[in-house]
Amino acid sequence: MIVVLVEVTPAGEVVETSREAMTFARDLAAAGGGVPIDAVVVGHPDDALVGTLASYGARRVHALTGPAYESFSGAAWAAGLMAVRERAGAVVVTAAGTARGNEVLAHVAARSGLPMAANVVSFSSLSPFTVTRQVVGGAALEEMSLSQRPAIFTLAGHAVEATPAATAGAGELVVETPDVADADLLARVVSTEEPEPDLSGTLKSARVVVGAGRGAGSAEGFDDLLELAELLDASLGVSRVVTSLGWRPHHEQVGQTGSRISPDLYIPCGISGAIQHWAGCSSAKVILAINTDPDAPMVTKATHAVIGDLHEIIPAVNAEIRRRRG
């Protein structure tokens, strides 16, 4: 049996990456001869949520409820998840490779004294159970053996496409209140504030993003880039070098440790395209790279490129836009 920790939005919907994890669990279950899949959620789900999980193949939906689960604690969630898994005798415990998923499953692994594979993208064999996962920010892959039971892993975001099952599961709701030790509640969320209305929100949803990296040269080197952003009604997104040098604020950073963007058009100017930056911009539909180096990874991965100095190209582009607008 496979147990999947499922995350739910404040509006009570299954998050996309958890639906991906359910989809992956089904592939695994099928390869294992049709073992059942149980979903675990924290809080009391409504019928629609149970229905969604059933449509993704859940035989049962275990709801962890009670005071111990009212605010997040990685150790408490892990205690609940393990209680379900022990009773069900599951051979696999999995979740989406989100911050929560990786944290809770690392607790499960530590408590069980077993290895955990974070950010798995595929499995290649069931015996020995071998998974492939992303390492070095996705620049390399690691084949990892999870031969002990339960096998504990998280699934990297978008490694598979979330698709409902051909035949829905029974989706039987089981409300659980597993005991949680006081020690597991020592590190819990004491307050959650709505995210500040910072500009990364607009960056994440922007249709066009003008990107700038070390090639901008200095804090003053952004004038033409900001003008281009204004002319295109675009947001500005920068590389980490730019924020660590203090040229622009951190909330403008795109990448593994910044915002992940998926605009219709991304225009990275003077950005090399390091893997950690690419992690945040690879979902852009069209990429127009502007760089002095024709071999920069950002140029070779882009859809379009212009080779040369951004300080010469951007003013010329701005002038051309103004000219056409009359």
174 touches which of ligand FAD, other proteins, none (CB within 5 to 8 A by kind)?
A: none
Sequence-ordered list of residues with C-beta below 8 angstroms from that of 191, at least 6 positions apart, any chain: none
- Under the criterion CB under 6 A, does residue 157 sit at the interface with ligand FAD? no
In whole angstroms, what is the distance from residue 126 CA to residue 46 CA? 35
Residues of this chain, 276-305, that bind ligand FAD according to CB under 6 A: 276-277, 280, 290-293, 296
- Under the criterion CB under 8 A, does residue 187 sit at the interface with other proteins? yes
Mask for 79-108, x = binds other proteins (CB under 8 A): -------------------xxx-xx--xx-
How many residues form the binding site for ligand FAD (CB under 6 A)?
A: 27
Q: Which two tokens stand for residue 239?
A: 């590389």
143 touches which of ligand FAD, other proteins, none (CB within 5 to 8 A by kind)?
A: other proteins
Nearest to 293 by CA among 276, 273, 277: 273
Sequence-ordered list of residues with C-beta below 8 angstroms from that of 227, at least 6 positions apart, any chain: 314, 318
Measure the CA angle with vertex 319, ends 317 and 325; round to 5°.
Answer: 105
* Among positions 28, 39, 116, 216, the unique one binding other proteins when judged by CB under 8 A: 116
- Under the criterion CB under 8 A, does residue 15 sit at the interface with other proteins? yes
293 touches which of ligand FAD, other proteins, none (CB within 5 to 8 A by kind)?
A: ligand FAD
Residues of this chain, 19-58, that bind other proteins according to CB under 8 A: none
* Among positions 81, 240, 248, 266, the unique one binding ligand FAD when judged by CB under 6 A: 240
Residues of this chain, 21-50, that bind ligand FAD according to CB under 6 A: none
- Under the criterion CB under 6 A, does residue 57 sit at the interface with ligand FAD? no
**Residue 194: exposed, middle, or buried by beta-carbon count in 10 A (0-12, 13-18, 19+)?**
exposed
- What DSSP line would sit under 259-307, residue for residue? B----SEEEEES----HHHHHHHTT-SEEEEEES-TTSHHHHHSSEEEE
Backbone phi, psi, residue 161, to 5°: -95, 135
Residues that bind ligand FAD (CB under 6 A): 213-215, 239-241, 253-258, 270-272, 274, 276-277, 280, 290-293, 296, 309-311
